[in-house]
Amino acid sequence: MLDEFNALIANNTWELVPRPQGVNVIRSMWIFRHKKHSDGSFERHKARLVGDGKTQQQGIDCDETFSPVIKPATIRCVLRIALSKSWPIHQLDVKNAFLHGYLNETVYMHQPLGFRDKTRPNHVCLLKKSLYGLKQAPRA
């Protein structure tokens, strides 16, 4: 949990602000799972902080909820062209891709359990960047 929290702080994902009157504040939740090696054996425990997107309100703290996705036929066409021209083909994985996108909407979230700021316990997180679980996370 500490590694995840520190990564979010280093990424400047939110800033603590006094809770404004009359705004929707979504819950923050910890999701836990077991990470496994390729052979299926246990590797380590993993914790991820997510925002509870189901408590977001359309038109208030989220607008569009689509996710741009490429069609498999498009991938096949591009690969076919690349192969016919002997172009090199590479792939990559952007770690924590959802966490790099800035938010267009104003989203407030309760401070994560176990990591409440002792000097500002009643403040909320004003999200600057996307977080897993938000309705707009896939497009951020």
Three-state SS string across 75-102, please? HHHHHHHHHHCCCCCCCCCCCCHHHHCE
State the pLDDT at residue 96.
67
State the pLDDT at residue 121.
93
Within-domain flag for 84: no
Within-domain flag for 16: yes
Domain count, the chain: 1
Tokens representing residue 48 in the block: 């991820």
Average pLDDT value for residue range 103-120: 92
- Non-local (6+) Cβ contacts of 2 within 8 A are none
Within-domain flag for 109: yes
Residue 128, pLDDT above cutoff 90: yes
Q: Are 114 and 1 in contact (CB under 8 A)?
A: yes
- Model confidence at 76, in pLDDT bands (50, 70, 90)? very high
pTM of the predicted protein model: 0.70
More reliable by pLDDT, 47 or 94: 47
Within-domain flag for 72: no
Within-domain flag for 73: no
- Identify the domain containing residue 39 by its residue range: 2-67+98-139
